[in-house]
Amino acid sequence: MSAPHAAQGTAARGGATLSQKILSRASGLEHVVPGQIVDGRVDLAMCHEQGAQAVLPFHQMEAKKVWDVDRVVVAIDHWVPASTEGAAQLHQILRHFAQEQGLKHFYDVGNHGICHQILAEHGWVVPGDLAVGTDSHTNMLGAMGAFAVGIGPTEYAAVLALGKIWLKVPSSIKVEVKGKLAKGVYAKDLVLRTIGEVRCDGARYKAIEYAGPTISSLSMSERFTLCNMTTEMGAKAGMVPPDSKTFEFLEKIAKHEMHPLYPDADATYERTVHLDVDGLEPQVACPYSPDNVRPISALVKEHVKVGQVFLGSCTNARMDDLREAARIFKGEKVAPHVRFIVSPASTSIYRQCLKEGLIELFTDGGAVFTNSSCSACFGGNMGILAPDEACASSSNRNFPGRMGAKEAKIYLMSPAAVALTAIRGEISDPREVL
């Protein structure tokens, strides 16, 4: 693949990172440098329920029409179907607005999924894109070789009105990964390890750019997991340069033209984090921060009991995640006094689970298999925790109060670790059974 929109003549100025490349394309400038403020043309704007808060500012701006209805996706996911009157109103505001503006790409109840997963599986974000979304985990779409960034609803209203957004070009941290993930060790463990290294604020205002042989070997789903949790390092965006896997993934589904871009070999990074995953063991982010990361063996020794187990969220509820958890859970039962909630990342994943017998497999063992939504991840819909409870979760955040009571403890881990923990009722190492 060629890189037709790569900034020209960058060699004379020193190489450009992938972030610089994409933002120079988006802004129509030949070369941009970290710290520079640019106006970027937006290739894709996505909202979930928070988009309802953009409707009033959009009208206050006296905007008449959305700039390009084929670049706008609405994907409700936090309360689907609406579980409260408030949520029903948010959905209604969005439906009315979509009707008024002729927004055709509305993933409503029955055709729904977690917004980032919807963008991914329908090919809404492609290499070289500048994408924005009203959710902090919009970073996930950086796995397409795009610059995907989370924004608030007022900003989203401005994007709908103008089709552009101002951005400060970030400096980039290169995360270079080598080695082979062992059996029972996953992209989730790699990203948790990375967060432990970079910390929750280590990439504030910066981009994370993944590189190295391990990254090339990962599937798109695994790359989504990696980019998704760059948010937990404070990153503005996280990305993987496109390769044959990206193009194959998008071949039949890409919604618009690709402009693949790549970092220059002599690009300047703020720093490079070198990780070797040979010998890496499963990781767990402990309460109350995603960067409080410990190896799972330490927790196994402490016999950390849980009352709830959650397999879901945009981070880890795709087919490969659910299949891997099912491999461990097959023929087993949920431990006494434990609730196991499984929520697929989209309705199409739900249907695939139905075809493959996974819904039966999980529910036979005593799990509850819900329709697709953000589910227990954000503490506002279902799977809420009481003060003295602990939860093992494949999601992305464990701040105080994230899933309900502020005292409740959330342990973040891979889907495989979650599945074994559901069976045993205490945090368990999936390598023991794989």
Partner 1 sequence: MKDVIEGRVWCVGDELDTDQLIAGKYLTIIDPKELRKHVLENVDPSFSQQAKEGDILIAGENMGCGSSREHAPAALKAIPLGAVVANSFARIFFRNSINLGMPAIEAPGVRAIFQPGDTCRIFLREGRVVNVTRGKEVSFPPLPSHLMDLLEQGGLVEKVRQELKRSGAKP
Least CB distance from residue 311 to partner 1, whole Å? Answer: 19
In angstroms, the Cα distances linking 279 to 78, 90, 197 are 37, 47, 16
Residue 175 CA to residue 89 CA, distance in Å, equals: 42
Block residue for tokens 């002729």: 102
Q: Which is nearer to partner 1, 233 or 277 (CB)?
A: 233
Pairing status of strand 207-211 against strand 172-178: parallel
Q: Which is nearer to partner 1, 315 or 381 (CB)?
A: 381
Taking phi over 0 as left and psi of -120 to 50 as alpha, with beta for the rest, 401 belongs to left
In angstroms, the Cα distances linking 46 to 107, 115, 133 are 11, 8, 4
Amino acid present at 285: A
Residue 412 CA to residue 188 CA, distance in Å, equals: 9
Name the burial class of residue 84, with classes exposed (0-12), middle (13-18) and buried (19+) by CB atoms within 10 angstroms of its CB.
Answer: exposed
Least CB distance from residue 163 to partner 1, whole Å? Answer: 12
> For residue 300, which of 316, 282, 314 has the smallest C-alpha distance?
282
Q: Which is nearer to partner 1, 178 or 199 (CB)?
A: 199
CA max distance for the chain: 66
Least CB distance from residue 49 to partner 1, whole Å? Answer: 8
Radius of gyration of the chain (CA): 21
Q: Which is nearer to partner 1, 3 or 200 (CB)?
A: 200
Q: Which is nearer to partner 1, 41 or 245 (CB)?
A: 41
Residue 412 CA to residue 293 CA, distance in Å, equals: 9
Q: Which is nearer to partner 1, 86 or 357 (CB)?
A: 86
Least CB distance from residue 71 to partner 1, whole Å? Answer: 17
Least CB distance from residue 247 to partner 1, whole Å? Answer: 30
Find out whether 108 and 77 touch, Cβ atoms under 8 Å.
no
Least CB distance from residue 424 to partner 1, whole Å? Answer: 28
Q: Which is nearer to partner 1, 38 or 420 (CB)?
A: 38
Q: Which is nearer to partner 1, 58 or 329 (CB)?
A: 58
Residue 15 CA to residue 2 CA, distance in Å, equals: 17
> For residue 368, which of 290, 323, 433, 311 has the smallest C-alpha distance?
311
Q: Which is nearer to partner 1, 380 or 430 (CB)?
A: 380
SS3 119: helix
Residue 428 corresponds to which tokens in the numbers above? 């368990």
Residue 293 CA to residue 197 CA, distance in Å, equals: 9
Q: Which is nearer to partner 1, 28 or 401 (CB)?
A: 401
Least CB distance from residue 52 to partner 1, whole Å? Answer: 7
The residues of the shown chain that bind partner 1, judged by CB under 8 A, are 37, 49-50, 52-53, 57, 60-63, 78-79, 84, 86-87, 89-90, 134-136, 138, 150-155, 157-158, 161-162, 166, 200-201, 204-205, 234, 236, 289, 378-381, 384, 397, 399-403, 406
Least CB distance from residue 269 to partner 1, whole Å? Answer: 19
> For residue 313, which of 393, 221, 389, 239 has the smallest C-alpha distance?
393
Query: What's the DSSP call for residue 426?
Result: B
Strands laid side by side in the 308-311 sheet: 293-295, 283-285, 409-412, 390-393, 308-311, 339-342, 368-369
Least CB distance from residue 53 to partner 1, whole Å? Answer: 6
Least CB distance from residue 203 to partner 1, whole Å? Answer: 10
Least CB distance from residue 258 to partner 1, whole Å? Answer: 26
Q: Which is nearer to partner 1, 357 or 387 (CB)?
A: 387
Quote the distance between the C-alpha of residue 384 and its chain's center: 21
